[in-house]
């Protein structure tokens, strides 16, 4: 049988999707993403905290402060995680996800122990998924395949 010879550019079966956005769009999205996620998270936490009661100034302040803290931590984790090996990369994002979930879950009025256990369960699942994702996107020497 005759088979087509692989080309020198890419390994067989690996095709990279084209980047349809230019560098300007990537720079804008680097700031839009944390702001949008922070606002959603902050006001979601404020909604959980007020538990169907009236919207107050303190509730809005809580939402803005929570959103600001989430944005700052998200940017810090995103900046630092890219420089770490896959195990620590996954562990850092896992800690961030677990803390964010645990904080929101604690706003429901659940006990601290239950919030910690639920947060650990979510963190464990996040670690498995993230480690698998980062492990399958590196070569044998641990360099990321982009």
Residue 76 C-alpha from the chain's centroid: 11
- Kindly report the number of other CB atoms within 10 A of residue 38's CB atom: 21
Both structure tokens of 42: 């902050």
CA distance 4 to 67: 54
Span 90-119, mean pLDDT? 93
Would the pLDDT of 5 be above 70? no
34-80 per-position pLDDT tens digit = 999 999 999 999 999 988 888 899 999 999 999 999 999 999 999 99
Q: What's the chain's Rg over C-alpha atoms? A: 20
* pTM for the whole structure: 0.78
Angle at alpha carbon of residue 74, lines to 93 and 35, rounded to 5°: 145
Higher pLDDT pick, 72 / 2: 72
């Amino acid at each position: 049988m005759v088979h087509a010879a692989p080309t020198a550019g890419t390994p067989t079966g690996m095709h990279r999707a084209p980047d349809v956005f230019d560098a300007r769009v990537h720079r804008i999205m680097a700031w839009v993403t944390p702001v949008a996620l922070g606002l959603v998270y902050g006001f979601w936490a404020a909604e959980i905290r007020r538990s169907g009661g009236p919207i107050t100034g303190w509730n809005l302040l809580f939402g803005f402060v929570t959103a600001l803290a989430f944005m700052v931590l998200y940017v810090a984790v995103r900046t630092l995680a890219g420089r770490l090996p896959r195990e620590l990369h996954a562990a850092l994002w896992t800690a961030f996800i677990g803390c964010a979930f645990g904080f929101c879950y604690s706003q429901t009025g659940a006990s601290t122990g239950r919030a910690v256990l639920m947060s650990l369960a979510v963190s464990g699942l996040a670690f498995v998924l993230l480690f698998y994702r980062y492990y399958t996107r590196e070569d044998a020497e641990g360099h990321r395949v982009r």
